[in-house]
Protein backbone atom coordinates (compact mmCIF):
# COMPACT_ATOMS: atom_id res chain seq x y z
CA UNK A 1 0.00 0.00 0.00
CA UNK A 2 1.32 3.43 -0.98
CA UNK A 3 0.11 6.49 0.89
CA UNK A 4 0.79 10.00 -0.40
CA UNK A 5 -0.06 12.95 1.80
CA UNK A 6 -0.68 16.36 0.28
CA UNK A 7 0.04 19.02 2.92
CA UNK A 8 -2.29 21.99 2.46
CA UNK A 9 0.41 24.52 3.35
CA UNK A 10 2.79 23.27 0.67
CA UNK A 11 0.34 22.82 -2.17
CA UNK A 12 -1.39 26.15 -2.77
CA UNK A 13 -3.81 25.68 0.10
CA UNK A 14 -5.39 22.59 -1.48
CA UNK A 15 -7.36 20.92 1.30
CA UNK A 16 -9.61 17.91 1.57
CA UNK A 17 -12.66 20.17 1.71
CA UNK A 18 -11.66 21.94 -1.51
CA UNK A 19 -11.01 18.64 -3.29
CA UNK A 20 -14.41 17.34 -2.21
CA UNK A 21 -16.09 20.42 -3.69
CA UNK A 22 -14.42 19.99 -7.10
CA UNK A 23 -15.49 17.51 -9.75
CA UNK A 24 -12.13 15.75 -9.98
CA UNK A 25 -11.48 12.18 -11.07
CA UNK A 26 -11.04 10.18 -7.89
CA UNK A 27 -8.37 7.59 -7.24
CA UNK A 28 -9.59 4.01 -6.79
CA UNK A 29 -9.46 4.38 -2.99
CA UNK A 30 -10.85 7.92 -3.07
CA UNK A 31 -9.57 10.89 -1.12
CA UNK A 32 -9.11 10.72 2.64
CA UNK A 33 -8.49 13.54 5.07
CA UNK A 34 -6.17 14.14 7.96
CA UNK A 35 -7.55 16.09 10.90
CA UNK A 36 -5.54 19.14 9.72
CA UNK A 37 -7.20 19.14 6.28
CA UNK A 38 -4.33 17.49 4.45
CA UNK A 39 -5.33 15.13 1.65
CA UNK A 40 -4.35 11.47 1.69
CA UNK A 41 -4.12 9.47 -1.53
CA UNK A 42 -3.91 5.70 -1.09
CA UNK A 43 -2.79 3.37 -3.86
CA UNK A 44 -2.08 -0.34 -4.06
CA UNK A 45 1.37 0.39 -5.50
CA UNK A 46 3.48 2.93 -7.35
CA UNK A 47 2.16 1.89 -10.75
CA UNK A 48 -1.41 2.67 -9.67
CA UNK A 49 -0.27 6.10 -8.43
CA UNK A 50 1.49 6.83 -11.72
CA UNK A 51 -1.56 5.75 -13.72
CA UNK A 52 -3.72 8.08 -11.64
CA UNK A 53 -1.30 10.96 -12.26
CA UNK A 54 -1.66 10.29 -16.02
CA UNK A 55 -5.43 10.37 -15.61
CA UNK A 56 -5.15 13.70 -13.78
CA UNK A 57 -2.88 15.03 -16.53
CA UNK A 58 -5.48 14.14 -19.18
CA UNK A 59 -8.13 15.79 -16.99
CA UNK A 60 -6.03 18.97 -16.62
CA UNK A 61 -5.59 19.13 -20.40
CA UNK A 62 -9.38 19.40 -20.80
CA UNK A 63 -9.35 22.75 -18.98
CA UNK A 64 -8.36 25.65 -21.20
CA UNK A 65 -8.46 28.02 -18.21
CA UNK A 66 -5.21 27.25 -16.42
CA UNK A 67 -6.28 29.37 -13.47
CA UNK A 68 -9.44 27.34 -12.80
CA UNK A 69 -9.59 25.59 -9.41
CA UNK A 70 -9.96 22.21 -11.14
CA UNK A 71 -6.85 22.69 -13.25
CA UNK A 72 -4.79 23.93 -10.32
CA UNK A 73 -5.93 21.06 -8.09
CA UNK A 74 -5.08 18.50 -10.78
CA UNK A 75 -1.60 19.98 -11.20
CA UNK A 76 -1.01 19.95 -7.43
CA UNK A 77 -2.03 16.28 -7.21
CA UNK A 78 0.25 15.38 -10.10
CA UNK A 79 3.09 17.26 -8.42
CA UNK A 80 2.55 15.45 -5.11
CA UNK A 81 2.60 12.05 -6.80
CA UNK A 82 5.69 12.95 -8.85
CA UNK A 83 7.52 14.18 -5.74
CA UNK A 84 6.85 11.02 -3.74
CA UNK A 85 10.13 9.23 -3.01
CA UNK A 86 8.67 5.75 -3.63
CA UNK A 87 7.23 6.80 -6.99
CA UNK A 88 10.56 8.34 -7.96
CA UNK A 89 12.43 5.15 -7.01
CA UNK A 90 9.95 3.06 -8.99
CA UNK A 91 10.41 5.22 -12.08
CA UNK A 92 14.21 5.05 -11.81
CA UNK A 93 14.27 1.27 -11.50
Domain count, the chain: 1
pLDDT of residue 74: 95
Buried/exposed 4-37: b ≥16 CB within 10 Å, e otherwise: bebebeebeebbbebbeeeebeebeeebeeeeeb
pLDDT digits (tens, 9 = 90+) for 24-52: 999 999 999 988 889 999 999 999 999 99
pLDDT of residue 59: 97
What is the distance in angstroms between the CA of the first residue and the CA of the last residue of the chain?
18
Percent of the chain with pLDDT over 90: 80
pLDDT of residue 14: 86
Between helix 46-61 and helix 69-83 the angle, nearest 10°, is: 150
Whether residue 81 contacts residue 52, with contact meaning beta carbons closer than 8 Å, is answered with yes
User: Which residue would you say has higher pLDDT here, 13 or 69?
Assistant: 69
Average pLDDT over residues 17-23: 90
Domain that holds residue 33: 2-92
Amino acid sequence: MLRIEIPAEEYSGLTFLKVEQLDLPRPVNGFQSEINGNIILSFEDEEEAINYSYEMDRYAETHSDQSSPEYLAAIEIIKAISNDEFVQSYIQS
